Structure 1
Amino acid sequence: MNFPYDRQPLDKKQARVKGRDVLRPMINLNDYRFEAVLDWIKIRVSFTRTTQVQHVQKALRKYLNRDSWIVGLDMGSGETFSECVITIQEPKNFALVQQIADDLAAKFGEASPACVVGLEVSVDAYPKMPSEAARVALLREMLRTAKPNFDFWTDPNAHPRTITAGKSVDGVRGKATVSHINPTLRRAGNFTGEFSHDVYIGGWGSLSVDGTSYFGPKDGDLMVRLMHKIIDTQNHKSGTWCDLPEEEKRVRIEVTLNEAELNRRGFSTIQSLKDFKPTVLQKEVFKFWLPTFPKPVPEEKKTENRKAIEKWQGKRLGREQVFQSAGMVGLGAMDQALAASKKMIVQGIPVGMRNAKMQARVGDTHVAWDELNGCMNEALRNLGKRMGTAWGKL
């Protein structure tokens, strides 16, 4: 294998991974600083009297050092409205958002309590010695080992993909391109519930470090993005942006939760966010996995049957090759396909001739990347502590 992984014996007693080897990325996470942040929050406010964008913006700037995106929902004459959605970029904490909502209610009247309709939480990784090579190395391993814990296969628009910006000309970026991790599966339409042998065996691409990679549909209930964040204040309409200074460039993983997802979790008002703990997102989003493989069998101990199987397997994409290109996402699909194939084979064998080994469930063979998950957890816990402290001061 020609990529930087160390193959080590796995010291685990679970039957699904016992006696296997694990691939560990050869990257020192102590060379990075991890920080979790609120990227933005979107609130819907209803006033008892009409107003305009500039008046709401003026009230917001009392608390914020940058303009917020304000969209009137019931626009009337003179571009007035009494209900709007406000996107607040990088709020320091939820307590500040509550202060803002209270101030708006005092100025314009409150027809109903402010509602939370969107939220984005990010974990950023900064190399302690800033360099593009260090950022790319970490992002590449995060892309390989990410496997968000929600369904991103059923909807073709949710499939893992990378969007890469077009070439820049005179400071303006060209049209972006989209590459899917499995074009074959995407062309097949909606996921039927089981990966077929032909789907996972071929057609695997990779998530690229040169763009932003997505899991989940745009504007869906839950969406995850991983990126090499080197620009800010991007304007998609004009195609312009600002380059970040070297020390602010970082690797980012972020999750966006829309109103339906927030409501499902019990968060509808700003006050309800007092109970929001960023660490609960780790299981679904901020968790990374490592692959395991059977130990190699010495040539002299191979049976003729094993040699024949290996010869057949040699004509197909192996697990290590799938991991190298498609990461844990590809291996997860591969494991599901193997389970489906085994189920089909066993169903064709008379019940009386089946043994326990035949009927054993094909389980996941990956293990948690404890070191990276620990970095994520600490960053999320620190964000939660900052939130709690701010609420206490309100």
Structure 2
Amino acid sequence: MDQGMNWEATVLPPPIRRGRGVSENLPNRFERAATEPFDDGWPGDPEAMPAGAPLPPLATTLTPDRSRSAISRNQSPDLGFDRAINPYRGCEHGCVYCYARPSHAYLGWSPGLDFETRLTFKPGIAALLERELRRPGYEARPIALGSNTDPYQPVDRTLALTRQVLEVLERFGHPVSIVTKSAGVLRDADILRRMSARGLARVWLSVTTLDHTLARSMEPRAAAPHRRLQAVEQLAREGIAAGVLAAPMIPGLNDAELERILEAAALAGADAAGYTLLRLPLELRTLFETWLHQHYPQRAAHVLSLIRQTRDGQLNDSRVGQRFTGQGAYAALLAQRFAVASRRNGLSRPASLRCDLFQVPPDPNAALKRASDRQMALF
């Protein structure tokens, strides 16, 4: 069924895996063969464990990504940027609704548990980025940092790839817009303060809900809602342009909080806001539906019905102009509520980032090579 599992049958959702957004790995859509779990009676098998027993924890693994480019590009009219940088693929935050989950299938892994436990990272991303920015004819436009997965997810505390990217962008005077759910962005406040003062940087904190219980189950490893608002407050206090994204809004689950989220954002010092409607592409439909029946079984049918009302009867609509906002009376009301609440709280459209300050700095490696060539010429 293209609308997910038929939960009206006697199928029970899998047991909840604490600390993870989802509980299972769905088959990779590009693989011809699929495996199914089978209880062979051995101790430790999840299928052989007593009902209600907690599932064993899963470790996070890291694999180097040997991509030859740091910048990815798009031509979508739905997006406010045409280029992005993602230091990581997969995201340990484990947000159940993450639209990036299906992209993990391109790596040969599952959009389910693999997405939040099997990560790739780009160890040479700073050097790759600098090489691309130095190419003749490169034209600066605002670059989105973390458009696919969070640049400040927990692993960045040790790898610090995001800071390396920001150091390069600052040196080149290149504009950047950051989207994150993590207060870890404060680690780079020194760089962001200097860039924001020049009109080169803006930070967006994604605040999906103010309900800690809902946040813990829906985005289990992201910063708590109040911590994200505190991050907005500190960014604003340091003069760093900061906004809040109430995204995604999920009909019947968190959309009633829209006005409260925007009010809290304004009180924290945010100067702009945005929102998107829940998207459920490909495997995400099944993953989200399973999660709903695990955590909100009494509300699941109602939530799914409301989602279909905004998606022309389906659980997803990927058409340009529709995928972020939806259609129908329910979606139109949500858009109107957002517009009214934004005006009431003084959350206007943000100023454009500056692109005229981009300048390629001298290449120290080239200077060293010239000096070496002069030395060799003496022999």
Q: Who wins on radius of gyration, i.e. which is larger?
A: 1
| Higher strand proportion | 1
Say yes or no: TM over 0.5: no
- TM superposition score category, shorter chain reference: under 0.3
Between the two structures, name the one with larger relative contact order (CA 8 Å, sep ≥ 6): 1
